[in-house]
Amino acid sequence: MLFAKLDMLLPEKPRYYTGLRVWGDEPSDDIQVSFDDEFIEEIQVRFDAADISLPLIGGVCDVARHFDCVFATTEGAIIQPSREAVVRTVLQSDAAHFVQDPQGFIEKAVRLDQEDR
């Protein structure tokens, strides 16, 4: 049932690895499902910060709510499956800051690295 719902959101890519199915395109929006023989181990969703798709975010949130799931960022923050919460999180991400101002983002990273020394 999960895979059928994901098929409605993004096209599935050909399978190259056992235990991994991918929908979408890695440089932009994609969904990766890792599993073993019996259980889903992880679902990773990546939204393109340069071209945010509200219908995709809404669809992914619908799937998450259907399966009573929440989102967790790589930093460990828990995000409720609502379009507003997810869009806010994407817009506050490092990826979005880089897309909005690449030079400023890199300059800030260099400055922070120098402060850490």
pLDDT at 45 over 90: yes
At residue 24, what is the residue type?
A: G
- The sign one gets for the Cα dihedral 36, 39, 42, 43 is positive
pLDDT in tens, 80-92: 999 999 999 999 9
pLDDT at 117 over 90: no
Residue matched to tokens 């030079």: 103
User: Distance between terminal CA atoms of the chain?
Assistant: 51
Distance from C-alpha of 34 to C-alpha of 92, rounded to nearest angstrom: 27
Q: What is the DSSP letter of 93?
A: S
Say how many residues make up the chain.
Answer: 117
- What 3-state DSSP class applies to 74? coil
pTM: 0.86
